[in-house]
Structure 1
Amino acid sequence: MDLLSQLETILESDPLIDEVGLIHSSQFVTLNKEVGEFGNSSVDDAFRPTDTKFWNRDHKLGISTEVVLPLCKAAKSAFMDAMKQYKMLSNLSDDKHEDENIVYGSSSSCQYFEHEVMKHSRALLLLSCDFGTAWNARKLLVLKKPQLSVFTDELLLSALVLSYSPKSEQAWSHRRWVIKMIAEKYLNLQQIVAKESGLVEKIAERSKMNYRAWNHRCWLVSYMTREQMLHELKRSKDWAGLHVADNSCFHYRRRLILRILENKPNKQGDNFSYDVENYQVMKEELELNEVLIKRYIGREALWLHRRYLSLCWIRHLTTMCGISYHSEQKTNMDNEINIFFDKEFCLLDSCLMIQDTEFEDFEAQAMCSAIYFVWLIKKIPQFRKVEMHEKLKVGNLKNILHKTCSERSFLRDLLEER
């Protein structure tokens, strides 16, 4: 309990702590030496880290691994006791038949135990982040005082928990709940969304393959403005190029593109500018995907991403061609569709060639491109399929496809049906 008191004192004295971690006892000596060498001499010695249980400097908190278990037990016991007292006094305050003096006394005591529950639950969640009862208790008390400052404190706490446990489902869920509550009571969410995107990006960089972080980022898209979505596409471009095995990033980009295409202008006259912008977004994403496919051979995730992009592109061009009343614009859309298919044939031609049989990547590339082509045939309009078969004959691609699909009977059957 003394250790718990020390920890809670540190958390209350430094509310700006933004990172917490577990430290082995041998590391405290090194940290103290670094503080002695690089620390500010004007800092009072009383605040210099000399303890071997906790380390707190520059809004960073370190907890010794030796005290984690006893601390967790003490925090859980203190939290459960405070919660029990709070529930008992809360029930007593709700009983209207009690004496007014008793009700008043129980009400003031109830506020005291509210503070105790929040204090102990914060310490407990930093030690055991998936303790759902503590998260639910905080929600219960936050709803009694739904103020922006209270919600901000909850965002800070969840961010602190995620600094050492970036894959905590409970922390991410609590964070989404807080944002939803803010969205219901406060209209301007643009600043919060911008900060959230930055936070999630930092967590994703520290924790690779973090599906929960990317899932949270996808959820944020529904609260973004069009400008923010376009910015996020540019922001995540480098990550997509460096982490092609992380399909979560491409899922996030698909989510952004879908919302951008669905986004309707406020004014009727803005339709044309939105269409031009959407056209450019899709074109740039297709070009990026083609570059990555040729750079990283045999990556199925890239081909799956291209399926989605191609489907959106075909639907967009077909819709534009259908709603156009000008023959010139229809002709331009037809030309764009033809250009798109010509580029897909060129991509197919370059990927079907197995350059080195010693490496399976080239075979995987050829198989993925063949599967993509069979899928593409099923998605194009019926009147264009004859034209595609003619192009296949000219480029001798049909024989290459048959050779590639020789071991995959379902692909060969599909190809023969065309």
Structure 2
Amino acid sequence: MNEIIVIGGGAAGFFAAINIAEQHPQANVTILEKAKQGLQKVKISGGGRCNVTHAEFIPQELVNNYPRGKKELLGPFHQFMTGDTIAWFESRGVALKIEDDGRMFPESNTSQTIIDCFLNEANKFGVNINYSCGVKSVKKEGSTWCIDTNAGVFTADKLVVATGSSVKIWEILKTLNHTIVKPVPSLFTFNVKDARITNIPGVVAQNVTVKVVNTNLESHGPLLVTHVGFSAPAILKLSAFGAVELAQMDYKFQIEINFIQQDFNGCLSSLKNLKQTLAKKTVFKFSQFDMPKRLWQQLVLAANIGDGTTWADLNKHQLEALAAQLTKAIFNVNGKSTFKEEFVTAGGVDLKEVNFKTFESKYHKNLYFAGEVLNIDAVTGGFNFQNAWTSAFIVAKNIM
């Protein structure tokens, strides 16, 4: 009988183990998990609802959500894609629903549904699960893998590493001559202290452009003012695609925000028209450009326009100052905060060292990788889980 060991009892590990056991009944499949229970990231994902995947069904479009892994995942997504994920869960009694922003969750609205599904499937196909089983070393003796743990030594014909962002396992993989790209945080919010946003947490500007000054980093989308700074997709995309660059800056940099999707000159022209058409109205009281009222008021004050000033009273300097606040407002970022419970890391096994047709190591036969142990990460919205399902399924398909 083939002995197959999966290191890591998270999303990718369970998905790999279940699919290996189902597709290859002659194999004896064992999960080694260092914690007292598995699937903890699944449990807290999506605010406890588990953001299983994202309703994007074209591989060429799906890969655009991966700052690292975009090129490598195109082929794998043609093998196992979002639709396959949906079908896999639905065939096991777990119906998924699509929310307005494209995120997909179990209809039950609880991650426990996904956990129960995995535990039931693992039991059904005879997967052995060893909790509190931390790996200390991995060696290859002939064609056999020897895994030393705090619960004894395990041996395997084939080994799957699905440990996510585990520094300890990355160190072990270095002893097997694999290169580890230095890990840095990938999904995070920006810490900003600024009088313009101090008193307006909870305000959302729907369609903004955010640039990191003196870089090519730029993103579009909703922007949320929080108690500590900025969040929402416009910021999270920047944090993901700029993960390495922003880490090199020690998370101290400037951003330029365009709140209204007009350039400075176009905005100035619009403001001059408003000066004519709204002459007797107070600038402060009536928000323009579909902006949230509280944000508009803060930007008006920042342009040195008093709360009683009418449009007719605005001088050239005030019009220009307001146009600048609306189209190229500069904010100083000083640090980052974790986005909800999403612990996503850029870094991991160098992608050049993996065969993406099978997810097997190019250096060691019968060593496979699944999920975030590789230098692959995505923006928020279920994309990191889709990488886990795809890589794990392809490992299961090719391991025998």
Q: Give the TM bin, normalised by the shorter chain.
A: under 0.3
Q: Could you tell me the TM-score, scaled by structure 2's length?
A: 0.26
Which structure has greater strand proportion?
A: 2
Q: Could you tell me the TM-score, scaled by structure 1's length?
A: 0.25
Which structure has greater helix proportion?
A: 1
> Quick one: higher RCO (CA 8 Å, sep 6+), 1 or 2?
2
